[in-house]
Structure 1
C-alpha cells in the first residue's frame, strides 16, 4: 500500500483529475452557475453527512473531492461577500500544491533553502511599500492574530523594564487600543498576562476611529493606576466597519511618551500597494511594526501574514531560547526563521506570494485593492438611495455596514437579524452581520473582484423584500 500511495503515476492521475474538478468549479462559480454561494445546513446535519461518508470506508478519492467542493462555501462566487478572506488566485493555489508536495519546513536554513530567501525578498518589498528604509525587514507567519501577538512580544522586549523573557514582568504592563480593534489584540494582551486592566480600550468617534484626543488622558490615568503602558495599536482598518485610525496622531503620541507603535493592518494595510488609497494609512512609515495579511485583499491562499519591523533587529529580540539541535549560535541569522516566529515547521507560504509576483507583478495587488474599494463606494451610494436602508457609517474600505429601517425602531435589531438568517439559509448570497452601538447591522466585505453592481443590486432587492 505504501508503494502505491507514493506512486508518481498515481499522483499524476489523481492530481490531473483534481485540477479538472477545480477548473470546472471555478468556471461554474465565476459564471454564477452554482445555485448557492453557501450550501448551508445545520452543524448536526453536516456532521451526520460526513459521518455517513466516513462509515463508507475508503474508496474513490475523487468522489470525496467532489463532496468537499460541493459542501464548501464558494468564495469564488461573485455573490460571496462574507468574511475577510480572499478568493485566492488559482495560480497561487497551484503553488500551494507545489509547496505541499515538497513540504520543506523553514525554521532552519537547511530545511528552507528556497522559502527563507523568498521570505526575506517579500518582507523587504513590503517594507519599501510601507515606507521603511533599508534597515527594515520582517517575517511571514500564520495569520494576523499570531503576527499581532508576536509584535506585542517584541514591544514588550523593547519597552518593558528589565528582561521580561528571562525574569518575568517586574511591573504591571498595558497596551492601548481602540474599542473597535480586532479581538486578537485583547487576546494577545491576556496571553501575555496583562489581564483586564492591561487592555486599555479607547472610545471611538462617529466614524468608529480611535479618539486620539483622549490618548493623553487615558495614558495618565493608567500611570496613576500603577500601569506601565508599553504600546499603542492602531487599526488599519477595524474589522467591523473598515475604519482606519489616524496613524499620524497616534505616532505623535507614541514618540512623545517613547511607546511602541504597532499598526494592525491585517486587512486594510494592503492599501500600501495602491497610489489612490495609500493616504488612508498616512503615518504608517512611523510605526515600529506593521501586520498585513496576504490572504485578504492580496489574493493569496490562507494563511499568509507579514509582520514587518522598522528596525529588523527588533524581530530577533522577541524570542531568546537556544535550541542546539536546530542552530549552533544565537546570532541574528535572517535565514533561520525559527528564531523569530512561534512556528518551527512553518509552511512555505512565501512560495505562494512569490508566485503571484513572478506571474503578475505588484500591479495586480493595486488593481485588486482599487477595484474592491471603488465597488464599496458604489454600493454605499446604492444603499443611500434606498428608502428603507441606511448606512452605519460612510465606508473607508471594502467593508460596508448597513441595515433595513422600514419598521419601528424597537423591531429593527430582530428584523435585521432575521434577514441575515434567511439569507444564510437561502444561500444565494453570503453576508454577515455586526453590532454597532447596540444596533444590528448587515455587513458585506467585498472580497471578490468579479462581483458586479448587478450582483449588489440583486442583494439589495432581496434584502428590501425580506425586510418588507
Structure 2
C-alpha cells in the first residue's frame, strides 16, 4: 500500500469522525479501564514496525476509544466543540512544519501571528501593545509574572533574584494553580503568592487585596504583581478589573488579567462589561482554544507596552538563527521558546472563515445557553443551583426525594452519566458541597442540546435514585 493510499484511507476516517460528532446517538466515549485498553490496543513499539493495514487499524482504535470532545454533549472541560476551519488550518500548518523563531523560515506564519496579535490588542485597548503566542494559559501567566519581576528588579535578568528581597504576588483565592507554579519557576516561591479572599460568587474582594498589600509593606516585603481572573475555573467569576486597577496604580503594581478561560468574552458587545477596565491592565492571557473552539493549543499573552517581551530576554548571541536583514521582525527574539509551533495560523483561518461579527455571535450564544441552562435548573424541583451563574459555568446538584449523602449521590450520578457515554460533565467543590459543573464552551450549542443534556442527567438520576431506594428497603 502506498502512502497516498494510506492518506486516502485516513481522510475517510477523518470524514467519518467529523460526521460522528454530529450524531447525538453516538457515544462520546466508549469507556474502558487502562487494563481493558491494554487488551484492545497494542501500545508497545515493536522492533520491526507494523504493516500498513495494522497502521490503519491503530488509527481506527485511537479514534474509537478517545473522547469525542467535538460532540455537543461533551460539557466536561473548558474546551469543546469542533471548529472546521481551524482544523483545516492545523492540518496545513503541520503540513508546512515550520517554526516561529524567524521570518526567514516562517514568512506567512510570522505575518499571520503579527496580524492576530494586533487584532487581539484592538479589543484590549492596548494601543501600543505587543504579544506572543505561547503554549497555554499557564505559560502566559508565567511570562506575565516574569515581566513584572523584570520591571521591579531589572538587574535580575542578569544577576539573578536576591532572596533577601521578598517579592509578593497577589491572586484571587480561586485563581488557577499556575501562579503558584510560576512563582516556583521564577525563584520567588509559591508561599509568596498571597491568596486574596473572594466573595460568595467567587470574585476577588478589592478591599481585601489592599489590606493584604498593606500587610506585606508593613513587613518590609515587596508587592509587585496582581493577577485578576477573568472567569474562575469553577464558578466562571470575573474579578472587578476597574477597582483592582485603581489599587495597582496606587501602589505601582503590575496588573495581569488571566483570561485563560473567559478572555474571549471580550469579543462580545453584549456581555463584555464583565471585563470593564481591561485596558488598564499591563498584560492579558487569552486562550482561543477555549471559548473560540480552536484546536489545542492556541494561547496568547498580550502586553500593554511594546518592547516588554523582548526586554525579558537576555542578550541574544545567535547569529546562526537571527541575521538582522531586510528590516524584518523575528518573533523568536521576544519568546522564551526557540522552536515554537505556528498556533496563530489555525486561529487566523477560523477568524477569516467566520468573520468578526459571526465570532461575536458565537460568544454571545455561549452566555445565552448558560442562561438557558440556569433556568432549566431553577425550574426543576430536584435541581438546586449552589451559586448564582456568573458567566459560562453553571454549578448545581440533584437533590433526591429521600435523605442521603448529597455529595456522594451527585458524585455517583456524574460517574454513571460519564461512563454511559451519553453526556460528560465535570464536578468540583463549593466549600464542602459537591457541585456538578456544567461549562458552556461550544459556540454551536443550541437549546435542544441543553435539553438533551438535562434529559440524560435526569434519566441517570432517576435510575440511581430508584437503585438507592431499593437498597434502603432491603436494609
| TM-score over 0.5 for the pair | yes
Q: 1:90 to 1:62 in 2, by over 3 A?
A: farther
Aligned runs of 1:101-250 on 2, under 5 Å? Answer: 101-133=95-127, 135-159=128-152, 161-170=153-162, 171-250=165-244
Contact 1:38/1:429 (CA < 8 Å) preserved in 2?
Answer: no
Aligned runs of 1:284-433 on 2, under 5 Å? Answer: 284-324=278-318, 325-328=320-323, 335-406=329-400, 411-433=405-427
Per-residue deviation at 1:467?
5.2
- Corresponding position: 1:457 with 2:451: no
Mean alpha-carbon deviation: is it higher for 45-54 or for 216-225?
45-54
- Correspondent of 2:18 among 5, 21, 26: 26
Deviation string 1:266-300 (CA, Å, 9 cap, x unpaired) is 11110111111111101011110001101111121
Per-residue deviation at 1:410?
7.0
Per the alignment, residue 445 of structure 1 pairs with: 439
Per-residue deviation at 1:409?
7.8
Contact 2:72/2:81 (CA < 8 Å) preserved in 1?
Answer: no
Contact 1:237/1:243 (CA < 8 Å) preserved in 2?
Answer: yes
Name the SS for the 2:107 alignment partner: coil
Per-residue deviation at 1:389?
1.8
Contact 1:30/1:450 (CA < 8 Å) preserved in 2?
Answer: no
Deviation string 1:278-329 (CA, Å, 9 cap, x unpaired) is 1110101111000110111112111011111111211212221423232257
Name the SS for the 1:109 alignment partner: coil
Aligned partners of 2:123, 2:260: CA distance in 1, in Å? 15
Contact 2:29/2:68 (CA < 8 Å) preserved in 1?
Answer: yes
Per-residue deviation at 1:115?
1.2
Aligned partners of 1:464, 1:49: CA distance in 2, in Å? 31
Aligned partners of 2:459, 2:315: CA distance in 1, in Å? 56
**TM-score, normalisation: structure 1:** 0.92
Per the alignment, residue 38 of structure 1 pairs with: 29
Per-residue deviation at 1:388?
1.9
Per-residue deviation at 1:414?
1.4
Per-residue deviation at 1:53?
7.7
Per the alignment, residue 85 of structure 2 pairs with: 91
Contact 2:289/2:296 (CA < 8 Å) preserved in 1?
Answer: yes
Name the SS for the 2:210 alignment partner: helix
Structure 2 gaps, min length 5: 466-475
Contact 2:87/2:295 (CA < 8 Å) preserved in 1?
Answer: yes
Per the alignment, residue 7 of structure 1 pairs with: none
Mean alpha-carbon deviation: is it higher for 390-399 or for 428-437?
390-399
Q: How many residues align?
A: 455
Per the alignment, residue 253 of structure 1 pairs with: 247
Per the alignment, residue 276 of structure 2 pairs with: 282
Aligned partners of 2:38, 2:331: CA distance in 1, in Å? 38
Name the SS for the 2:414 alignment partner: helix
Aligned partners of 1:210, 1:296: CA distance in 2, in Å? 23
Q: 1:14 to 1:362 in 2, by over 3 A?
A: farther
Contact 1:419/1:466 (CA < 8 Å) preserved in 2?
Answer: no
Name the SS for the 1:209 alignment partner: coil
Per the alignment, residue 51 of structure 2 pairs with: 58
Contact 2:78/2:261 (CA < 8 Å) preserved in 1?
Answer: yes
Per-residue deviation at 1:408?
7.5
Aligned partners of 2:460, 2:206: CA distance in 1, in Å? 36
Mean alpha-carbon deviation: is it higher for 161-170 or for 144-153?
161-170
